[in-house]
């Protein structure tokens, strides 16, 4: 199936220009997917490893009959810790992306976020925008504190690479302390318990073996292509 794309320019309140993109099939789309990439991805035409994975996912979703919405994001140093400003700026652009395409939304509506993109989606849903979504898929998004989803979301899927290990310092005052390291079998469960709403969404954890933080092959042993699993979780077909 061919993929059609339409790109439009928009501006932040401070005047910063950025692009939004709608990728869609030739036939009427049966569903809509909002895609928020990780902090390594800032522009629609990037060519990094994460960019290529998002491009493959977009093409697969469109081939399954969905239209996909995404946009440029503020550039950041991926080696620096994620800040509250990083999350806020992305959430605001995603909110504008939803509002600007409401007239085009057809069928089920799914939000998909990778890492920082997932954190931005949680902030967006905590504000009640959009008012409802059929499901949310968060990839590599660790939830350390309770997040109340003001939007009505019946289903949240938490997806982690099996080799995505997370370290935590038990005592921040001790610089010689080695961090405690957890795998997604541990932090996935506590992340699921932190996602709440009214009514409380069904939150499920999925661990994809042999993959890292943004679902690329990582570590020894066999790995799997994450796209079939992601496409299935989005709910647009095999």
Q: Residues 153, 110: contact at Cβ < 8 Å?
A: no
For residue 229, give the nearest of 206, 201, 213, 211 by alpha carbon: 206
pLDDT at 1: 62
Q: Residues 138, 156: contact at Cβ < 8 Å?
A: yes
pLDDT block averages, 10 residues each, the chain of length 238: 91 95 95 96 95 97 96 89 94 95 87 98 96 96 96 97 85 72 94 94 96 93 90 81
pLDDT at 173: 66
Q: Residues 212, 219: contact at Cβ < 8 Å?
A: yes
CATH assignment, 4-234 = 3.40.50.1820
Cis before 199 (ω within 30)? yes
pLDDT at 36: 98
Give this prediction's pTM.
0.94
């Amino acid at each position: 199936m061919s993929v059609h794309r339409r790109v439009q320019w928009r501006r932040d309140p401070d005047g910063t220009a950025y692009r939004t993109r709608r990728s869609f099939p030739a036939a009427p789309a049966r569903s809509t997917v909002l895609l928020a990439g990780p902090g390594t991805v800032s522009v629609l035409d990037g060519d990094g490893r994460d960019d290529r994975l998002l491009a493959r996912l977009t093409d697969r979703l469109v081939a399954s009959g969905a239209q996909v919405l995404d946009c440029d994001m503020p550039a950041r140093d991926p080696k620096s810790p994620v800040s509250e400003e990083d999350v806020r700026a992305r959430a605001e652009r995603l909110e504008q992306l939803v509002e600007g395409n409401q007239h085009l939304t057809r069928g089920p509506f799914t939000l998909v976020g990778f890492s920082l993109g997932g954190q931005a989606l949680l902030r967006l849903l905590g504000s009640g925008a959009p008012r409802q979504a059929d499901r949310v898929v968060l990839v590599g998004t660790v939830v350390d504190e309770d997040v109340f989803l003001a939007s009505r979301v019946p289903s949240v899927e938490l997806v982690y690479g099996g080799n995505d290990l997370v370290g935590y310092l038990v005592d921040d005052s001790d610089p010689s302390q080695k961090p405690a390291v957890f795998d997604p079998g541990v932090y996935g469960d506590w992340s699921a318990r932190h996602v709440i709403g009214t009514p409380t969404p069904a939150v499920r954890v999925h661990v994809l073996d042999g993959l890292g933080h943004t679902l690329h092959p990582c570590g020894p042993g066999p790995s799997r292509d994450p796209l079939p699993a992601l496409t299935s979780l989005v709910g647009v077909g095999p």
